[in-house]
Structure 1
Amino acid sequence: MGLSQALSTAMSGLRATQASIALVGSNVANAETPGYVRKTVIQSAGVTGDYGSSVLLHGVDRQLDQYLQAALRTETSGAAYADIRSTFLQNLQGVYGNPSETGTIEDAFNKLLTAFQGLSTSADSPSARIGAVNAAQTMAQTLNTTTQGIQNLRANAEMGINDSIITANNAMAQIAFINNQLQNNGKTDAATASLLDQRDQYITQLSALMDIRTVVNDLNQVTVFTNSGVQLVGTEAAQLSFNPQGTMTPNTLYNPTDPTKSNVGTITINFPHGGSYDLVSTKSIRSGKIAAYLELRDDTLVKAQAQIDQFAAALSSSLSDKTTAGTAAPASVLPQAGYDLDLTGLQSGNVIHVSYKDNTTGITHNLSIVRVDDPSVLPLSNTATLDPNDEVLGVNFSGGMASVVSQLNAALGATANLQFSNPSGSTLRVLDDGATNRSDVLAASVTTTMSSLTSGNPQLPLFTDNGGLYTGAITANGAQVTGLAGRISVNLGLLGDPSRTIVFSTSPLTAADDTTRSDFILTQLQTGSYRYSPQTGIGTTAAPFTGTLLNFAKQFISQQGEAATSAKQLADGQSVVLNTLQKKVTDASGVNIDDEMAHLLALQNAYSANARVMSSIKQMYDTLIQAM
C-alpha cells in the first residue's frame, strides 16, 4: 500500500470517527428526551483490490425494533382505553356513594321504609306524617342528584371526545407534514432520523386516541389506518370533525338504528379529496381514549341512568297504579261471553289486560292493550310492558272510544276471534266468538294511575313526574321513563297537607288512626315485586329481573361496584404490560449513558490511531522531501 493510499484510509477513518463522535454527543444530550431513538453511523469498508482502502459512510441508523414499536402502540391504545373506563367507573361509584354511607340511594330508601313504619305505628301523629313526606322528598332528591352526577359524567365524556379529536387532527397533520419533508430530501442523515423520531411521537400520540396500524414505503413515508381499515393520513391528512352537544340530559342519546336521529355528537372523517365517513355508526374506532369515551357516553352511563330511571318508575307506579278486574258481560250477550272494563281514568301508558284461549291451537294468549295518545309511535314493541309473555298492542285513544273499538276489532277480530264494543260511556266490552267456540276470554282487567290523593283508594300519586302523573306514556319524544329519576318529585298536595299520607277519603272521612294507606305504601315498598327493563343491563328480554325495589337497588349498585373493580384491575394489568413493553423499547432503542461513554472512549482511541497514522505519513513525506 502506497503512502497516498494510507493517507486516504486514515482520513476516511477520521471522518467516520468524527461522525460517530457527533452522534454519541447527540445521543447523550437527548438521553432524557421523550421519543428519542439512539442513533449510529451506517458505515462499511471500501475495498481496492484485495485490501480495505477506506471507510464509507452511508447515513444514520436509528436503533429501533419495529416489532416492539408496533406492539407498544397497540398496548398504548389498550391502556388508554382501560384507564379512561376505570377513571369514569370509579367516578360513577363516587356518584352512587358507599352503601354504608348516608346520602346514597339505598340509605334514602331504608329511611323511607323506616318513616312509613313509624307512620303505621302512629298514624295520627302529625310529626310521623311530616317525617314520611320528608323521607319521600329525600328519596326523590337523592335520585335527582344521582341523575345529575351521571349526566355530568356523560358530558365529561363528550368533552373528552372533543379534546381527543383536536389532538388527533394535529397529530395527523404533523405526520403528513413530516411525510412530505421526507419525500423531498431523500436522505438518511441525522436530520432525517430526527424527523422520524418526531413522526413516531405523533403516531404514538394518535395510538393513545384510537387503534391504528401503519405501513411504511421505500421513502420512509408512513400511511396510518384505523384497524378497521379507514385511512387517516398519508402525504395528506384526513380531517376529523365532531359536533359536541355540551349539556347532557337523559334524553340526549345516540340512536344506533338511525344515527340521523341522534342528539349527541358524532365523529365524521373528511377525506382530503372529498367524501366523508361516520366513524361512530360504523364502529371504526375500537380502542383508545375515543372508543372508551364513546362507550361510556352511549352505553355504560346510559345503562346507569336506565337503572335509576327504572327504580324511580317502579317506585312511583307501585304506589299509584290500581288494577281493577273486569265484570262479567251481561247475559244478554249470550251465547258470547266476556267482560266489561271501566276505562275511566285510563291515562296514556296505562294498560288493559286480556287473557284468552285460542281453542284451535290450545294456546293461551296474554294481551296487553296500551293506551297511546301519539299515533306516531305505533306499532309498539312487545317489550313495552316488560312481561316476556305479553303480546302488546298499542291503540291510539286520541279519537275517542268509537275509534278505539274500531282499531281493536280490526287488529283482533279475525286473528284472535275477539269482539270489542262500547256499550256506554267509557266501558269497553270484550267478548269471545260465541257459538263457533274458536276463542274463550279467560280474564280481563285494567290498570289505571290514580290522580287524586283522596280517591277513596289507598293508591296515591306519592311521587310525580315534575308535578305531573307518571303513567309510563310513550310519545314521539321517547318513553316517559327516560330521565324520570332526574324529574321525580313528591306530590305537591302531600307537601302542603301531609295528612293525606293517612286520609284517602273525605266522604266518608278517613279516621285519623286508619293505617290502610300507610300499610299499603309500606307493603308495596317492602315486599312488592316488580319487573325491570333489560335496558338496565340486568336481566334479559326473555327473563327480565324481577324483585323488590330494595333488591333491584342492591343489584345495580353491586353491579356497578363490580364493574368499577374489574375496570381498575384491567387498567392496572394494561399498565403493567405497557410499562414492560416500554422498558423493552427503551432497552433496545434508548440511550444508555454508560454504553455511550464506553463507545466514546473507543472512538477517541480510533481517532488517535488514525491521527498517529497521518502524523507518521507526514513524517515520511518530510523525510522523502529532505532526501531529494
Structure 2
Amino acid sequence: MSIARALSNAVSGLTATARGTETVAANLANVMTPGYGRREVALSAQTLGGNGGGVRIDGATRMVNATLVSEARLAASARSESSVRADFLARMTETIGLPGEEGALTTALTRFRSALQSAAARPDDELRLTSVVDAAARLAERLNQSSAAVQEARATADRAIASDVSALNAGLERVAYLNRRIAILESEGADPSSLVDERQAVIDGIGQIVPVQEVAREHGKVALFTTEGAVLLDGSQPTRLAFTAVGQMTPDLVAGTAPMMRLVQNGQELTEGQMRLFSGGSLAANFAVRDELAPQVQQELDALAFDLHERLADPAADGTLGVADPGLFTDAGGLADAASVNGLAQRLEVNAQVRPELGGDLWRIRSGIGAATAGPVGDSSLLLSLVDALGAVGASQPGSGFDGNGSLQDRFGTVEARASTRKVNAETDHAMRNSRAETISARLMADGVDSDAEMQRLLQYEQAYAANARVIQAIEEMMDNILRL
C-alpha cells in the first residue's frame, strides 16, 4: 500500500470517528427529548481502483421502532379520551353531591321535608312556615345550580372542541410543511433526521386529539389517517376541519341543529354516523360530553324537578288547586308540562303565591295555594298531605330514565348513586388507560437512547480515533526520515 493511500485511509477513519462521536453526543443530549430517534452512523468500505480506500460515511440512520411508536400514540389517545370523560363525571358528582353531604340534592330534599313536618307540628308558627318556603327555595336553587353546572360543562366542552380543531388544523399544516422539507433534503442528499424528529412530535400531539395512523410515502413523506379511516393528510394539502363554538349553552340545544354544529370537514358538516370516523381522543370525548353525557345528566335532573313539581301540584295533595294551577313549585311561574320538561331543573322556582317578598302570603302554605282566604291557624292537614305526597311511592314518568316505583327520596338518591357510579367507573377506566400509556411510553424510552450503550460506543470511537492517529503519526515519521535522506 502506498503512503498516500495509507494516509487517505487514516484520514477517512478520523472523519468517520468524528462523525460517530458527534452522533453519540447528540444521542446523549436528547436522551429525554420527546420524539427524538436515536442515530447510528452508517459506514461502508470505500474502494479506489479495486483496492481498499478507507471508509465511507453513508449517513446517519434514525433508529425508531415504528410499531411501538404507533402503539404509544393509540394509548395516549385513549388516555386523553378517558381523562376528559373522568373529569366531567367528577364535576357532575361534585355538583349533584353524595348522600349526607352538605350540598347534596338529597340533603336539600330532606331539609325541605323536615321543614314541612316541623310546620305541621305547629301550623300557627309563621317562623316555621317561613322555614318551609326557605327550604323549598333552597331545593329549587340546588336543582337550578346543578342544571346550570351541566350546561356550563357542555359549553366548556364546546369550547374545547373548537380548541382541538384549531390545534388539529395547525398540526396537520405543520406535518404537510415538514413533509415537503424532508423530501427536499432527501433529494439533496442531506440528513433530514431533525425534521423527522419534529414531525414525529407533531404527530404525537395530533394523536392526543384523534387516534392517528401513520403510513409511509415516497421521498420520506407520510400520510395520516384516523384509526376509523378518515383521511387527515395524504398529499400536499391536509384535510380542512372547521368548528364554531356556540358560546352560551341551553338545555334545548341539540347537536346537528343550528347553532350547535358537528364537525365540518372540507366544508361539509358530518352526520352522526360520519362522526364515528373521529372517535377516540380528546375531540371525540368533548363531543360525547356535549352531546351525550351532559344531556343524560340534564334529563335526570329535569325528571327529578318534574316529579317534585307534579307531587305538590296534584289536587289530591292540595285540594285548593285546579288542574291548570301550579303548586308549590312552578315552571318559571307556570304549570310544568310533560311535553316541555327539558330544562325544567333550570327553570324550577317556588310559587310567588307563598313568597311575601313577591306579594304572596305565608298562610297559603297552611291553607292551600289556591285558597281564597286563610283557614284555621291550627289546621295542619294540608302540610301533612304535602309530606305524604313527597314520601308516596309512585310509578316513574315515561322517558324519565327511572324504572319501577319509588318515592321522591328514592329517585334523588338514584341520581346521586348513578353520578357516583359513573365517576368511579370512569376513574377506573382512566387509571387502566393511563397505566397502559405509561407502560408503552417506558418501553419506547427504553427502546430509544441507552446511555450505557452510547458510552460504550464512544469508547470504541476513541479507540478507532487513536488507531488512525497512530497511522498518521507513523506516516509523518516515515516522511521525515525520507526527507532527511
TM-score (norm. length: structure 1): 0.71
Alignment of 1:411-560 (within 5 A): 454-455=320-321, 461-472=327-338, 474=339, 480-495=340-355, 496-504=360-368, 506=371, 510-534=375-399, 536=401, 538=402, 544-560=403-419
- CA gap of 1:508–1:248, structure 2 versus 1, over 3 A, is closer
- CA gap of 1:315–1:221, structure 2 versus 1, over 3 A, is same
- Tell me, yes or no, if structure 1 residue 301 matches structure 2 residue 294: yes
- CA gap of 1:52–1:568, structure 2 versus 1, over 3 A, is farther
Q: Is the 8 A contact 1:526 1:549 kept in 2?
A: yes
- Tell me, yes or no, if structure 1 residue 264 matches structure 2 residue 130: no
- CA gap of 1:289–1:72, structure 2 versus 1, over 3 A, is same
Question: Which protein is bigger by CA-based radius of gyration?
Answer: 1
Q: Which residue of the other structure, out of 282, 287, 294, is the alignment partner of 1:289?
A: 282
Query: What residue number does 2:309 align with?
Result: 316
- CA gap of 1:599–1:456, structure 2 versus 1, over 3 A, is closer
1:247 is aligned with what amino acid? Q
Higher strand share: 1
Query: What residue number does 1:278 align with?
Result: 270
State the 1:623 CA deviation: 3.9
In structure 1, distance between residues paired with 2:207 and 2:180: 21
Query: What residue number does 1:606 align with?
Result: 464
In structure 2, the residue corresponding to 1:54 is in which secondary structure? strand
Query: What residue number does 1:22 align with?
Result: 22
- CA gap of 1:533–1:73, structure 2 versus 1, over 3 A, is farther
2:396 is aligned with what amino acid? R
Q: Is the 8 A contact 2:7 2:475 kept in 1?
A: yes
In structure 2, the residue corresponding to 1:186 is in which secondary structure? helix
In structure 2, distance between residues paired with 1:500 and 1:482: 29
In structure 2, distance between residues paired with 1:16 and 1:532: 81
Q: Which runs of 5+ in 1 are unaligned?
A: 324-449, 475-479, 539-543
1:121-146 CA-to-partner distances (Å, cap 9, x unmatched) read 22333222222222111111111111
Query: What residue number does 1:563 align with?
Result: 422
In structure 1, distance between residues paired with 2:455 and 2:125: 88
Tell which deviates more after alignment, 58-67 or 21-30.
Answer: 21-30
State the 1:605 CA deviation: 1.6
In structure 1, distance between residues paired with 2:452 and 2:337: 76
In structure 1, distance between residues paired with 2:138 and 2:344: 16
1:484-541 CA-to-partner distances (Å, cap 9, x unmatched) read 00110010001121211221375797433333322221111012313145564x5xxx
- CA gap of 1:615–1:464, structure 2 versus 1, over 3 A, is same
State the 1:54 CA deviation: 2.5
In structure 2, distance between residues paired with 1:39 and 1:240: 36
In structure 2, distance between residues paired with 1:603 and 1:88: 55
Query: What residue number does 1:327 align with?
Result: none
In structure 2, distance between residues paired with 1:120 and 1:460: 22
Tell which deviates more after alignment, 75-84 or 546-555.
Answer: 546-555
2:381 is aligned with what amino acid? T
In structure 2, distance between residues paired with 1:195 and 1:92: 43
In structure 1, the residue corresponding to 2:31 is in which secondary structure? coil
Query: What residue number does 1:438 align with?
Result: none
- CA gap of 1:535–1:201, structure 2 versus 1, over 3 A, is farther
- CA gap of 1:600–1:188, structure 2 versus 1, over 3 A, is farther
Alignment of 1:69-80 (within 5 A): 69-80=69-80
- CA gap of 1:595–1:502, structure 2 versus 1, over 3 A, is same
State the 1:99 CA deviation: 2.4
In structure 2, the residue corresponding to 1:502 is in which secondary structure? helix
Q: Is the 8 A contact 1:530 1:549 kept in 2?
A: no
In structure 1, the residue corresponding to 2:182 is in which secondary structure? helix
Tell which deviates more after alignment, 63-72 or 11-20.
Answer: 11-20
Query: What residue number does 1:106 align with?
Result: 106
1:559 is aligned with what amino acid? R
Query: What residue number does 1:196 align with?
Result: 196
State the 1:186 CA deviation: 1.7
In structure 1, the residue corresponding to 2:232 is in which secondary structure? strand
Q: Is the 8 A contact 1:16 1:55 kept in 2?
A: yes
TM-score (norm. length: structure 2): 0.91
2:413 is aligned with what amino acid? K
State the 1:35 CA deviation: 2.2
1:53-107 CA-to-partner distances (Å, cap 9, x unmatched) read 4222221111211111010000010011111111121121221233222222100
State the 1:290 CA deviation: 0.7
In structure 2, distance between residues paired with 1:68 and 1:38: 14
Tell which deviates more after alignment, 164-173 or 39-48.
Answer: 39-48
In structure 2, the residue corresponding to 1:84 is in which secondary structure? helix
Q: Is the 8 A contact 1:99 1:107 kept in 2?
A: yes
In structure 2, distance between residues paired with 1:162 and 1:507: 56
Q: Which runs of 5+ in 2 are unaligned?
A: none
Higher helix share: 2
In structure 1, the residue corresponding to 2:124 is in which secondary structure? coil
Q: Is the 8 A contact 1:531 1:545 kept in 2?
A: yes
Alignment of 1:382-393 (within 5 A): none
2:204 is aligned with what amino acid? T
Query: What residue number does 1:252 align with?
Result: 253
In structure 2, distance between residues paired with 1:484 and 1:306: 9
1:569-616 CA-to-partner distances (Å, cap 9, x unmatched) read 211221111111111111111x34443333222212211111211222
In structure 2, distance between residues paired with 1:206 and 1:507: 68
In structure 2, distance between residues paired with 1:529 and 1:609: 94
State the 1:196 CA deviation: 0.3
1:278 is aligned with what amino acid? L
- CA gap of 1:239–1:309, structure 2 versus 1, over 3 A, is same
The percent identity for this pair of structures is 27
Q: Is the 8 A contact 2:262 2:269 kept in 1?
A: no
In structure 1, distance between residues paired with 2:322 and 2:429: 56
1:289 is aligned with what amino acid? S
Q: Is the 8 A contact 2:364 2:371 kept in 1?
A: no
In structure 2, distance between residues paired with 1:535 and 1:43: 72
